[in-house]
Structure 1
Amino acid sequence: MKHRLSILLLLVSYVTLACGQIVFPSPNQVEMKKGKLTLRKNISMYTADTTAFYISLLRSEVLRDTSVKWQSKASAAHICWMNDPSLPPEGYKISINPKQMTITASGERGFIYAVQTLRQWVSGPAGKLTFACADITDSPRMQWRCFLLDSGRQYQRISTIKKYIDMASLLKMNYFHWHLTEGLGWRIEIKRYPHLAQVGGSVGKAEEQHGFYTQEEIREVINYASQRNITIVPEIDMPGHAEAALSAHPELGCFGLPVEVPQQGFTQNIFCAGKDEVLTFLKNVLDEVCELFPSPYIHLGGDEAPKGNWNKCEDCQKRIAALNLKDGHDLQLWFSAQMANHLKQKGRKAIFWGDVVYQDGYPLPDNTVIQWWNYRGHKDLALRNA
């Protein structure tokens, strides 16, 4: 019985290899055909733009740097790139027969995703690349396909971040939520306030928690991601998870005192919402963030902001009384609205974690997006309230 089962598994494996390819995520439609396209040295290619990034990506990741000869006629090329404005912006078609491969898209984003599919479709060593014949039609089912990297708690090298971006693009993700500030580290250089990164980037105890990204490095990562059809959404957490920032600028807290940086979790030390100079400081930070990041969305955190200090702070209590707010949570909603309105003036949308809508209170502006996260703690409360 075991012998028969082994034979059956081998036959199934052979059929899978012979009749289909595994691509993740699965394309919308794949029609397998007989035969295969084999490309050797001096591959010929037809394209309207030999300098496009997707061409270089195909040559490095699919053709494995095999030499290419450019053709002026599509019919004479092994690989042919064609534009079709009727296709969705991120959609593409790949048609492979034993003589030619034709890649069709309406623009650069679709061509990038076609290359990512071909990276998983190709087999064989350089000099003898093989593609199973098929017609592939694909476009994303979800507009927002995102991954998050927490660089606040753990500093990563630029080379490591680029590897994550490569993997995300291979999986056809198009947003990168970059968590850049945290109690354990402020990772983004702010030219106007250099101590934020110089001091706040090294408050963690472990060596791998030390470091920050210069604006030049951030631009490099933004460009790298953009080439691969990924928009970076930066997160600058406020008012909570601010211990690293308060280590550099204690005056931004309620009492202006040195703070303890937690190695886990968070403390009562958050940005003071009662001082006008704190709001001005954070708006200046957001000005530089917006200059760096072209993303239409800027994430402002808003989670896990305990109100113990605000409840004792004269400035915060004066603000609550002057605005006729109910409590510290209402004050956070007011604070969040000030920041969101500042982004609105720049044509940006503000994202907050669901914590800001656990209770009703001061109204948030219409450029606000709520990100639901804490089902364990609050079930679907944030989702329903949002």
Structure 2
Amino acid sequence: MAPVPLPLVPFPAHIDVRRGPAFDLSGAGLSADPDAATALRSLVAARTGLDLPDGDGIVLTVQDGGPAESYVLEAAATGIRVTGADAAGLHYGVQTLGQLIRRDGDRWAVPPVRVEDAPRFAYRGVMLDVARHFHDVPTVRAYIDRAASLKVNVLHLHLSDDQGWRLELRSRPELTATASATAVDGAEGGFYTQDDYRAIVAYAASHHMTVVPEFDMPGHTHAVSLAYPGIAEAPVTDVITEGAIPVEGEPYTGTAVGFSSLRVHDEATYAFVRDVFAELAELTPGPWLHFGGDESHGTTPEDFARFVSRASAVIADLGKTPMAWHEAGAATGLAPGTVGQYWGFVTPVDAAPQHARGFADRGGRVVLSPADAVYLDMKPTDDAPLGLTWANGATSLERAYSWEPADVVDGLPEDAILGVEAPLWTETVATLADIDALVFPRIAAAAEIAWSPATGAERTWESFRTRVGGLGPLWTSLGVRFPALAEVPWTT
């Protein structure tokens, strides 16, 4: 009978499981820099109830020389040492150490291993849509905790949509004064003050995550029309195939898409674009500003190309890297270096691959978010109470795991793939419990695809489902309310 793999997700690049006794955590001391020490103490306390005083036994250090975000973990009965090539690498080594902690009779122990690990992709993201349903700062912090534990390093915040605008901007105060109060199905809206947003950015940075903020345009802008009607077109309702019909001048609480647009030929529109992205750039230390560009069904292709070309140039002129959904790749005037986000299917349809390659053709790269694999808002099972099914039906954990980034877009070389992102749209997601119910355990699949080598003895569905099952006790101790999917042999 083959040994059960250690419950490590994402699986490391190299691991050597050694013979000999395990390291006993009882009475162990800790020598580490303050941030790493805080992270490990929190993990150990949640998992075991033990305190780790200053002392000998576990050493966490940073030592320059390895690849960015890499680490080496060595555990033996005599002690544990985690060495990161940088602070991020040390943080990820701590997360691996936390996953290794297990019951050994009446004690808590770490098995003897040597791990040498580094990520496959530089960009390993999750997205949280706070426009369809607003999620407050504590909820965002909790989501950061969950994602960072799986070596995710980007939080994409979808800050505006037809249902609401979610960030205070002093240059355009009407956006939150008149366009932030509502959400899907009449739920209470809300917005982040600038101090709230800075707090999210700082908390993410403390977990080695970069925030990518998105103001979606020229479509998905009905909320903008409430605040600044002079720059918005009237809703184009004949593009709506399902969902409530919008009414000009009234808040929208339905879930239809594609009906709204900014006025592409009005210079006041581009003054608005410059104002909102200039202020967003000042608030955002990370390199990327996302301007959306998806599902603009009420905008002609010519007008769409005109808009995304000018919007991307505005962001580039601010010293930031523009980012957009893959439809924007059709525009030949897109700013060079713009990053594209592919949200088509694992087996592409229509012109999505051509559009995705358009970013690489102009010196940019592509983040892969195939909707039928890593859209976390899809139902995990047909009978799940939350989620949607438009992306080829329910997305099982096995389907979320069984795809390869380099195989999605023909003609897109791997070095043009910046990374992988798992979006969570929130039409059906109103609370942290809802987030957990849809995100877990499928976020683990996206994390492994983004971090781990494409092949290896443990890079199989059978290994993955067993390893995920072994994380159940850790996730429970961390307060994650994950659904016990039947696909997984859960450890109790």
Please give the range of the TM-score, normalised by the shorter of the 2 chains: 0.7 to 0.9
**How many Å apart are 1:177 and its aligned residue?**
1.4
Partner of 1:182: 161
Which residue of structure 2 aligns with residue 32 of structure 1? 17
Aligned partners of 1:66, 1:205: CA distance in 2, in Å? 43
SS in 1 for 2:157: strand
Structure 1 residues 28-67: Cα deviation after superposition (integer angstroms, max 9, x where no partner): 12211221011223x32233x3x2x221010111255744
Q: Distance in 2 between matches of 1:69 and 1:218?
A: 34
1:113 aligns with 2:92: yes
Measured in 2, the distance between the counterparts of 1:174 and 1:190 equals 26
Would you say the 8 A contact 2:312–2:335 is kept in 1? yes
Question: What is the distance in 2 between the residues matched to 1:83 and 1:383?
Answer: 38
Q: Please report the RMSD computed on the Cα atoms of aligned residues, expressed in angstroms.
A: 2.4
Partners of 2:13 and 2:116 within 8 A in 1: yes
Q: Which residue number corresponds to residue 312 of structure 2?
A: 340
Letter in 2 for 1:365: A
Matched, 1:21 2:6: yes
- Shift in CA distance, 247/84, structure 1 to aligned 2, threshold 3 Å: same
1:287 aligns with 2:260: no
2:124 — aligned with what? 145
Equivalent of residue 383 in structure 1, options 339, 352, 356: 356
Deviations 1:276-302 (A, max 9, x none): 122112211111111111111111011
Q: Which residue of 1 aligns with 2:461?
A: none
Return the offset for 1:267: 5.1
| Map of 1:322 onto structure 2 | none
Answer yes or no: is the 8 Å Cα contact 2:213–2:289 preserved in 1. yes
| Aligned: 1:70 with 2:40 | no
Between the two proteins, the alignment pairs up a number of residues equal to 340
Aligned-partner Cα distance in 2 for 1:106–1:121? 21
CA contact (8 A) 1:80 1:103 kept: yes
Q: Quick one: distance in 2 between partners of 1:165 and 1:276?
A: 38
Say whether residues 1:130 and 2:109 are aligned partners: yes
Counterpart of 1:58 (choices 37, 40, 47) is 40
User: Per the alignment, do residues 129 and 198 of structure 1 end up closer, same or farther by CA in structure 2, a change over 3 Å counting?
Assistant: farther
**Range with greater deviation from structure 2 (83-92 or 99-108):** 83-92
Shift of 1:131: 0.7
Q: CA deviation at 1:115?
A: 0.9
| Structure possessing the higher radius of gyration over alpha carbons | 1
* Structure 2: distance between partners of 1:220 and 1:124: 37
Partner AA of 1:352 in structure 2: A
Q: CA deviation at 1:128?
A: 4.2
Question: How far apart, in 2, do the equivalents of 1:58 and 1:37 lie?
Answer: 16
| Structure 1 residues 117 and 235: CA distance shift in structure 2, 3 A | same
- Taking structure 2 as the reference length, the TM-score comes to 0.64
Matched, 1:305 2:296: yes
TM-score normalised according to structure 1 size: 0.81
Measured in 2, the distance between the counterparts of 1:345 and 1:378 equals: 29
Q: CA deviation at 1:365?
A: 1.9
Gaps of 5+ in 1: 1-10, 72-76, 309-327
Letter of the 1:343 counterpart: I
Decide which moves more: 258-267 or 209-218.
258-267
Evaluate the alpha carbon distance shift between residue 205 and residue 169 of structure 1 in structure 2; reply closer, same or farther with a 3 A threshold.
Answer: closer
Given that 1:273 and 1:335 are in contact with CA atoms closer than 8 Å, whether structure 2 keeps it comes out as yes
Q: Which residue of 2 aligns with 1:320?
A: none
Following TM superposition, by how much is the alpha carbon of 1:253 offset from its aligned partner in structure 2, in angstroms? 1.4
Residue equivalent to 1:234: 213
**1:238/1:271 contact within 8 Å kept:** yes
Secondary structure, counterpart of 2:296 in structure 1:
coil
Q: Letter of the 2:311 partner, please give it.
A: M
Which residue of 1 is the match for residue 263 of structure 2?
A: 272
Secondary structure of 1:266's counterpart equals: coil
SS of equivalent residue, structure 2 residue 292? coil
In structure 2, what is the equivalent of residue 316 of structure 1? none
Secondary structure at the counterpart of residue 295 of structure 2: coil
**1:259–1:269 CA contact under 8 A, matched in 2:** no
Structure 1 contact 62–115 (Cα < 8 Å) conserved: no
Q: How does 1:364-375 map to 2 (within 5 A)?
A: 364-374=334-344, 375=348
Distance verdict in 2 for CA 1:261–1:244, change over 3 Å: same
Q: Which runs of 5+ in 2 are unaligned?
A: 236-247, 360-492
Give the SS at the match of 1:136: strand
Q: How far 1:118 moved relative to its partner? A: 1.4
Partner in structure 2 of residue 258 of structure 1: 249
Cα deviations across residues 252-311 of structure 1 (Å, max 9, x unaligned)? 214796256261223543111222122112211111111111111111011112346xxx
Q: Does the 8 Å contact 1:184/1:209 carry over to 2?
A: no
8 Å CA contact retained: 1:185, 1:209: no
Alignment-mate amino acid for residue 369 of structure 1: V
1:336 CA displacement: 2.0
Identity of aligned residues (%): 25
- The Cα shift of 1:352 comes to 1.5
Corresponding letter in the other structure for 1:236: F
Q: Residues 179 and 251 of structure 2 are in contact (CA less than 8 Å); yes or no, is this contact kept in structure 1?
A: no
- The reply on whether 1:44 has 2:57 as its aligned counterpart is no
Q: Match for 2:354: what amino acid? A: L
2:170 aligns to what SS in structure 1? Answer: coil
Moved more, 192-201 or 107-116: 192-201
Q: Within the alignment, does 1:214 sit opposite 2:214 as a pair?
A: no
Q: Deviations over 1:218-256 (max 9, x none)?
A: 111111111111111111111110001111221221479
Counterpart position of 1:351: 323
SS, match of residue 237 in structure 1:
strand
> Does structure 2 retain, via aligned residues, the 8 Å contact 1:250–1:259?
no
Cα distance in 1, alignment partners of residues 69 and 146 from structure 2: 18
Code of the aligned partner of 1:21: L
